[in-house]
Amino acid sequence: MRQNSTKKRFRRAWLVVAALLIASGVRDTCAQDILTMQLQQGFGKNKVRYKDFQWEILESEHLELHFEAEFHELAVRAVDYLEEAYDHISAIMHHELSHRPPIVIYQSQYEFQQTNIIHEFLPPGVAGFAEPLRYRMVIPFDGDLDEFRNVLVHELAHIFQYDIIYKGPIKRITNPLSSPPTWIMEGLAEYATPGRNTIDEMVLRDAVLTDGLVPIEAMDAAWGMGNVFLAYKQSHSIMEYIAANYGPEKVSRILRLWDSQKDTDKLLERLIDMDMKELDERWSAHMRKHYWPLLQTRDYASEIADKIGGDDDVYQMFASPRWSLSGDMLAVLSSDGIEEHVDIIRLEDASLVERITRSMRASRFDHLTAGGGTIAWAPDGHTIAFVAKDGARDRILLWDLYDKDIVKTLRVDNIETIESIHWAPDSRRLALIGTGYGQSDLYVLDVYDETLQQLTGSPQREDHPVFSPDGSKIAYSSKYNNQFDIRIYDMATGEAHTAIASPNDDLWPQWLPEGNKLLFVSTRDTINDLFVYHLDEGREYRLTRTLSGISNPALSPDGRQVVFSTYFKGRSELYLMDMPDMPSIKRRDAELLARIGQVQPTAPDSTLADSGTADIAFNLSDDTSRVRPAARPIAPLTDQGGQPDLRSAAPLEDTRISSAVLLANASGANAPDAPPAPSVEVPAPTEQDDESISDGGVERKLYTPKLEFDGISVQMGYFDGFFSSIAQLSMSDLLGNHGLSLATDYVASQEVNNDFNFAISYEYYGKRPTYRASIFNWNQYYNNSRTFIYRGLLVSGISKVQQRGMLADASYPLDLYRRLELSYTYVGEQEVLVWPIEEVGASTSTHLFKSAFVHDSINYGLLGPTAGKRYFLSVGRTLDVGGSTRSFSHLELDYRTYLRLGRWSVLGLRAYGVGSLGSDALSYNLGGPTWFLPFYTGFNLNTGPLRGYDFSEFSGSRVALANVELRVPFVRGILFGWPTTFLVPAIDGSIFFDIGTAWNKGDTLDPWPLFNPDTDPVQLQREDERRMEAGLSMRSPLRASVGFGLLVYFMLPINLEFAKQTDLQGHYSDYKFHLSFGKSF
């Protein structure tokens, strides 16, 4: 009876043929079958809430800033930045915001990852976001105040854009349908953000010099797949070009024109009298004129150094190189486009010697921490330290080359992010840059007794620490007023002094073995190049003049070679260069100076503030081998990303007290080297303080959650004579900790339907465990199998099932990849025949308890998993309280692992089993692809895929299934130009083998031979009937299939698959075609 009923439940499931999702921010769609929905177990990584945040609000004239109370100083500084940025952006866009945008800041990247404002997992590298529905901005502080300010400005510019474009609630909730191209939105935001840095320049210059610029028409596709960083920089450059050549007012008009002109070509014609193609041609020509003169005076990296590794593997990238004891090998942070690892590679050919982090992700750490110096090879030759995030913060893991294993994990509890590490010569101490609690500072960690010594303390950023050869000093980069200098910390005296302070960024110091010279990178001409600074002579010498720029140099232990990263053709590459001796260094410096002396400097380009030609002119005067003292003006918003104003250069006044330590939570004055103090000081509110405190135009108050409108989703469908519909309204508080959703049906015109369907759900995400509770009352209609004579016609009856009850779920994330789930469900069901006669049917109720353990450490590509594994074990049991309550147990196991074969191919292996045991066991369906339509809202007990068979062809209370699938990439990123420009990011081919069966209690499982597809169905049916008559159990043979498919990603994954049934003994059926949507298993 129950099996039959469940089968019916599937049949009456509303087949959705049209679905319209409007608005973002809607978390769930209401399932139409509550019980089976609760049995469905999901995968996915966890957003772990490691901290109980205490929020306060600062309200200034134009905005409302939410911050953690302990980082009040950072918040006040942010308000300063934002108010300044508001005026700046308002002037550019000629617009005032219609209301105060809520801005949320986190004191670190890892706390930012815990935000509930969006529920998706935020991977490392996301610098912040703004969302158009409620105009919220969410920004982490990553240790660098200048970067922090830039991100604030960028995201605030987006808020201005939203306010201009999305006037009114309808436009806001339909924003995906009415948004301008991404290159316009991001280009404008970048245009409003102060200056380009050298990395921006490097990316843009490389694209121009290597013919890698993306056509404007195709630029939006770059955000889907391609060089996103280049897309940002190009968009920025195009806006600068328009502003410089057609006037800044044209930039501010773009969004207003968009309101009346949604065609980009026509918009540009109205704006600047040219279409996209013409703008592209002119802008590209302008860029070439700007950058090509550099070819006269600069070298390709390949002219001065040898590339490490070949050109074949364009996706393989190495970063953060560190030398082995002998100099034969390098430890590197490697990425092959799928996974990141710490590898040991051979210097001569970049071949892999040892994969240090093999199988460590998920078991030893959450993910590696990317950075310019998060690997360090100890002078003892056998200890390699690297940084990885595990739990709430970064750890340093010590890997031993002799043991080939992790020998120690160093936990530094008061540091969240570790950005750069370097070993002392004794191989016992590590210098590191730790970021957390609103600061970025230099520390020394003793790896034996794990004591930590903080050496600097200021809100400004420090980076790239390196011990001197005798271990008595540490050289490091230190930022001050948007510019890095190199300072030296004396371990004996505890004092630091500025050693190198050119008017540009001076980065990545490396001690030469003699201990009196520093190799470093400086951003002269906006291009990073190598220099040597002689500490005794007080002179610097230029070592390179490259086109691509140099970063992260690492000197070999004997000081005779240097490995560095450079950027060429859109990717990072490693090069090896011989390190000349001092006389050769001096000769080289003179040669490079003479080289630019032979080039006639041209007039600075008026359209680009940081013109390369202007820089050449600067170099003529600057390359005199004497460090120019740095000017220290307070950088205005209109500066150019750290580029110096040479006219205001003044003698360096190094008044900083190096040993000063300012803890983030300290309420005292800033350290002496801190940037100017924020202009607003606001007293803290007390716990009982319901009323706000106001001072200097800024109000401070405690955060109180208030539910506000998030969005609405509307879905509708039609199946078997019935329309279905769900309208869901979602609300949440500003920080996303509380969520409330209300769902109902909105098609009430059917003659038999006069019900009030609703579901109310509350969710809480404010703590590490998350909770959800729901109540519901839902009615579903379907044509039943009974027939009636009605008005002289033979008709089938219509039944209704009313489901009412409640759900309660709790989920506890053990870490990023694992969690425990627990749920209780009560569902009362009442079946009623409603037409043509009314007849009350069976009434049942269910109390279901379910728990599950879920592991998911998969890397996902566009078309499915690319590496890793996932599995869950789900166990459920109903509470049998007699009467009409259901009684069954539920056991389900799903294990999937994905093995990489070569670079891109993936072999997916899956084993699945589910059983519903008991007197009221549920029946599961098996057959066909996993999903047969997108937006399939009505959940049913389908399992799969078992391709080559009809959808849900088999049913039973038990299902066993295994899948093997090899996916091979065919195409990556194919751009079509007709009927419009669009990108198909990926097409894969697949071959697969499926085997499985569904059976009931009492059936005989018949594993071999497999089901023969040539078997006559009539004969098969007769055999079943014969066994039934004889009282024998039914036979359930295993069914298998082989096939191939084409997996296409176009807006969503589309699977075109052809499969044949087989018994693996030479019998095959004809091909059966399956069209399905969604990522493969």
Partner 1 sequence: MVRYRSAVALLAATVLCSGCLELVRRPSGSERQRTTPDRAAPTASQEVGTAGNPAPTPAVGIERAAAPAAYAERSSRQRRSVKRVNEYALWCIENDMWNEARSHMERALDQDSLSASLHNNLGIVYERLGQTDKASTFYQRALQLNPGEKAYQINLQELQERQQALADTSEAFDLFRPNGRDGRRVRPGDGGGNMPPAFTGE
Q: Which residues bind partner 1 (CB under 8 A)?
A: 324-329, 346, 351-355, 380-382, 401-404
Task: Provide the 10 A C-beta neighbour count for residue 520.
Answer: 27
Nearer to partner 1, 110 or 318 (CB): 318
Taking the complex as a whole, the smallest distance from the CB of residue 1012 to partner 1 amounts, in Å, to 42
Cα 796 to Cα 12: distance, rounded to the nearest angstrom = 14
Q: What is the dihedral of CA 184, 185, 186, 192, to 10 degrees?
A: 100
**The two structure tokens encoding residue 739:** 């969520």
Cα 1041 to Cα 994: distance, rounded to the nearest angstrom = 5
Cα 115 to Cα 122: distance, rounded to the nearest angstrom = 9
**The two structure tokens encoding residue 143:** 């240790």
Nearer to partner 1, 17 or 352 (CB): 352
Taking the complex as a whole, the smallest distance from the CB of residue 376 to partner 1 amounts, in Å, to 17
Which H, E and C letters describe 549-566, residue by residue?
CCEEEEECCCCCEEEEEE
Taking the complex as a whole, the smallest distance from the CB of residue 284 to partner 1 amounts, in Å, to 45
- Strand arrangement of the beta sheet that strand 329-335 belongs to: 317-323, 329-335, 340-346, 352-355
Nearer to partner 1, 701 or 900 (CB): 900
Q: Using only the alpha carbons of the chain, give its radius of gyration.
A: 33
Detail the DSSP E strand segments found in 184-290: none
Taking the complex as a whole, the smallest distance from the CB of residue 867 to partner 1 amounts, in Å, to 17
Nearer to partner 1, 381 or 580 (CB): 381
Nearer to partner 1, 557 or 836 (CB): 557
- The length of the chain in residues reads 1081
Taking the complex as a whole, the smallest distance from the CB of residue 571 to partner 1 amounts, in Å, to 24
Task: Provide the 10 A C-beta neighbour count for residue 264.
Answer: 20
**The two structure tokens encoding residue 111:** 């706390």
750: helix, coil or strand?
coil
**The two structure tokens encoding residue 902:** 């070569």
Taking the complex as a whole, the smallest distance from the CB of residue 308 to partner 1 amounts, in Å, to 16
The residues pairing with 243 across neighbouring beta strands, listed in sequence order, are none
Task: Provide the 10 A C-beta neighbour count for residue 842.
Answer: 12
289: helix, coil or strand?
helix
Phi, psi of 872 (to 5 degrees): -145, 155
Cβ–Cβ < 8 Å for 1078, 931: yes
Angle (CA) 860 866 869, round 5°: 85
Nearer to partner 1, 380 or 1003 (CB): 380
> CA 576 from chain center: how many Å?
32
Nearer to partner 1, 384 or 530 (CB): 384
Taking the complex as a whole, the smallest distance from the CB of residue 351 to partner 1 amounts, in Å, to 8
Taking the complex as a whole, the smallest distance from the CB of residue 343 to partner 1 amounts, in Å, to 11
Cα 434 to Cα 441: distance, rounded to the nearest angstrom = 6
617: helix, coil or strand?
helix
Nearer to partner 1, 346 or 569 (CB): 346
Taking the complex as a whole, the smallest distance from the CB of residue 469 to partner 1 amounts, in Å, to 16
Nearer to partner 1, 382 or 1072 (CB): 382
Nearer to partner 1, 405 or 1029 (CB): 405
Cβ–Cβ < 8 Å for 1048, 984: yes
Taking the complex as a whole, the smallest distance from the CB of residue 437 to partner 1 amounts, in Å, to 39
Taking the complex as a whole, the smallest distance from the CB of residue 325 to partner 1 amounts, in Å, to 4
Taking the complex as a whole, the smallest distance from the CB of residue 328 to partner 1 amounts, in Å, to 5
- Strand arrangement of the beta sheet that strand 64-68 belongs to: 129-131, 136-140, 102-106, 64-68, 55-59, 698-702, 693-695
Cβ–Cβ < 8 Å for 520, 512: no
Nearer to partner 1, 405 or 536 (CB): 405
Cα 942 to Cα 931: distance, rounded to the nearest angstrom = 9
Taking the complex as a whole, the smallest distance from the CB of residue 473 to partner 1 amounts, in Å, to 24
- For residue 285, the one-letter residue type is A
Q: How far is CA 1009 from CA 911, 965, 1012, 1013, in A?
A: 20, 22, 8, 12
Q: How far is CA 507 from CA 448, 476, 1054, in A?
A: 30, 8, 48
Taking the complex as a whole, the smallest distance from the CB of residue 331 to partner 1 amounts, in Å, to 13
Taking the complex as a whole, the smallest distance from the CB of residue 326 to partner 1 amounts, in Å, to 4
Nearer to partner 1, 230 or 562 (CB): 562
| Burial of residue 660 (number of CB atoms within 10 Å: 0-12, 13-18, 19+) | middle
Task: Provide the 10 A C-beta neighbour count for residue 964.
Answer: 14
Nearer to partner 1, 349 or 1029 (CB): 349
Nearer to partner 1, 70 or 354 (CB): 354
Nearer to partner 1, 325 or 1056 (CB): 325
Taking the complex as a whole, the smallest distance from the CB of residue 354 to partner 1 amounts, in Å, to 7
**The two structure tokens encoding residue 363:** 């078991």
Taking the complex as a whole, the smallest distance from the CB of residue 381 to partner 1 amounts, in Å, to 5
Phi, psi of 450 (to 5 degrees): 60, 30
Cα 1037 to Cα 998: distance, rounded to the nearest angstrom = 9
Q: What is the DSSP letter of 768?
A: S
939: helix, coil or strand?
coil
Helical H runs in 602-669?
Answer: 612-622
Nearer to partner 1, 379 or 913 (CB): 379
**The two structure tokens encoding residue 95:** 């617009």
Q: How far is CA 655 from CA 146, 660, 675, 734, in A?
A: 21, 12, 13, 43
Nearer to partner 1, 52 or 403 (CB): 403
Nearer to partner 1, 322 or 473 (CB): 322
Taking the complex as a whole, the smallest distance from the CB of residue 359 to partner 1 amounts, in Å, to 12
Cβ–Cβ < 8 Å for 802, 779: yes
